[in-house]
Amino acid sequence: MTKNEQWMQLALKEAQKAFEEDEIPVGALVVHDNKIIGRGYNQIERLQDPTAHAEMIAITAAANHLQSRRLAECTLFVTLEPCPMCAGAIVQARIPTLVFGAFDPKAGACGTLFNIVQDKRLNHQPHVISGVCDKECEELLKGFFGRVRVIPKKER
């Protein structure tokens, strides 16, 4: 197992927390000097906050840890391709490397629908590594959406 796969396995554990809380199961980690300095999972429903994506929570935690808005020596691991909001936050935080698992055909902004993170018109373009542990990331998402479609929310 590669180092990226090891970190993605830990991001999947964060995504599992979201799954257990009836949130779309996305997990994220920010790694600096081979240590996790930020972690997050989707909490949109729980917090009733449309910005409470896994990446946003992990980036905020990492910035607090480093006491800096610039995460220049960090890597972000996320189980699902970031949306436009999260892709913008990645650029603003100057994260040099983004590693994600599953592609998002409905909102992906790191190569699928848009490619915000590698837009040369912006002042920062992180290196992107996609498809890490993609099958496991996809299975967790499919399991969640399969459950959502079959079991009414009040019964979950």
For residues 115 and 129, what is the distance between their CA atoms, to the nearest angstrom? 13
100-121 core/surface letters (b: 16 or more CB in 10 A; e: else): bbbbbeebbbbbebeebbbeee
Burial class (CB in 10 A: 0-12, 13-18, 19+), 124: middle
Neighbours of 62 (CB within 10 A): 25
Query: Cα dihedral angle (39, 44, 45, 48), rounded to 10 degrees?
Result: 120
Catalytic residue among 14, 21, 45, 55: 55
81 part of the active site: no
The DSSP code for 106 is T
Active-site positions read 55
